[in-house]
Amino acid sequence: MKKVTLIGASGFVGTRLANITKTNFELKNIDKNQSSFHPEITTIADVRRKEQLVKELAAQDYVVLLAAEHRDDVNPTSLYYDVNVQGTKNVLDAMDENGVKKIIFMSTVAVYGLNRKNPNEQEAVKPFNHYGKSKWQAEEVLRKWYQKDKKNRSLTIIRPTVIFGERNRGNVYNLLKQIASGKFLMVGKGVNFKSMAYVGNVAAFIKYLLEKDNFGYQLYNYTDKDDLNMNNLVTQVEISLKKKVPAIHFPYWLGMIGGYGFDLLSKVTGKKFDVSSVRVKKFCATTQFDSTKVHNSGFEAQYSLSEALDRTLKFEFVNTKKDDITFISE
């Protein structure tokens, strides 16, 4: 049985990935936090500590690197580079010391920047924040590693758009919660489209790649189809929750003033708020990405975007909860 180490699998995507792969592979999870669902395969370690990684990657066949600093409000910003860039270098060094030749790396569409017109994998990158910049630098580190021994190494980079799903407490959840509350205020006209990715489909794609087990270099955008604009998203919430959501629109400039106000309040009080100028910008931006390559690869996503949103909405706002375990992201 193939030995696969997941790095950072105590979190949102990793937990779902472990759920569907633990019977297919000899699985190990390395994370700085204990796993709520898979403690039996989890070892506590930090990607910033190479000596820990060297010990844990002995006799492994494959690495899936999920660990990252990714929230909008990480402070100090040097953490993005310490974890996302230097952490990647440490993982590769530990792989080399143990003769591990294959890695799948979770990057991000943030490397493309904002308001791009449906970029595919060949488009130029233009990251606008530290998260995107650090992930791009990590990708470059990985590509240099691969180029040193292309005949024997395997590198797959996945650039997912924003990932949502059951138990996640990131930006999509906060947005769905606001819409579901009936107190939602739409900033802008609501015609900007959003590519999104369902955690169950993303995990299934990684499993598909592990099973396919190809050598070489591959780069994939990952989104689920069909894309919805913000007005469509409100309609989906109405359908799933069987409730009417008031349609109140605020102009973009007014939303940005509010965002800057919360930025100032956060700086003065030291508290973090759900609203910020960065999040208003991201909310109003069109964020569509071409994922034709993924969907032509032979992989078939189990759920469409509308079906995935329906599953998430009913889990979070309709069904009775069995526990209160959640994952913080973005």
CA–CA dist 98, 103 (Å, integer) = 13
Say if residues 106 and 163 touch (Cβ distance below 8 Å).
no
Considering the chain, what is the average pLDDT of its residues? Answer: 93
CA–CA dist 38, 309 (Å, integer) = 26
CA–CA dist 67, 85 (Å, integer) = 11
In the sheet that holds 42-44, the strands lie side by side as: 42-44, 26-31, 3-7, 62-65, 102-106, 154-160, 216-222
- What is the pLDDT at residue 116? 84
The phi-psi region of residue 203 (left if phi > 0; otherwise alpha if psi is between -120 and 50; otherwise beta) is alpha
| pLDDT, average across residues 142-153 | 97
- At which residue do the structure tokens 């000596």 appear? 51
Strands 42-44 and 162-164: unpaired
Q: What burial class does residue 248 get, using C-beta atoms within 10 Å of its C-beta: 0-12 exposed, 13-18 middle, 19+ buried? A: exposed
What are the backbone dihedrals phi and psi of residue 25, each rounded to the nearest 5 degrees, phi first? -135, 160
197 strand-pairing partners: 163
Query: Quick one: pLDDT band at residue 214, thresholds 50, 70, 90?
Result: confident
Say if residues 287 and 161 touch (Cβ distance below 8 Å).
yes
pLDDT more than 90, % of the chain: 78
Q: Which of 131, 146, 173, 220 is catalytic?
A: 131
pLDDT score of 76 more than 90: no
Say if residues 220 and 156 touch (Cβ distance below 8 Å).
yes
Say if residues 230 and 255 touch (Cβ distance below 8 Å).
no
**Helix or strand or coil: residue 287?**
strand
- Can 131 be counted among the known catalytic residues? yes
DSSP track, 196-237: EEEHHHHHHHHHHHHHH---EEEEEEE-EEEEEEHHHHHHHH
CA–CA dist 179, 167 (Å, integer) = 17
Query: Quick one: pLDDT band at residue 283, thresholds 50, 70, 90?
Result: confident
* pLDDT 10s digits, 104-124: 999 999 999 877 889 999 999
Q: In the chain, count of helices (H) and strands (E)?
A: 12, 12
Query: Quick one: pLDDT band at residue 21, thresholds 50, 70, 90?
Result: very high
* pLDDT 10s digits, 186-208: 899 999 999 999 999 999 999 99
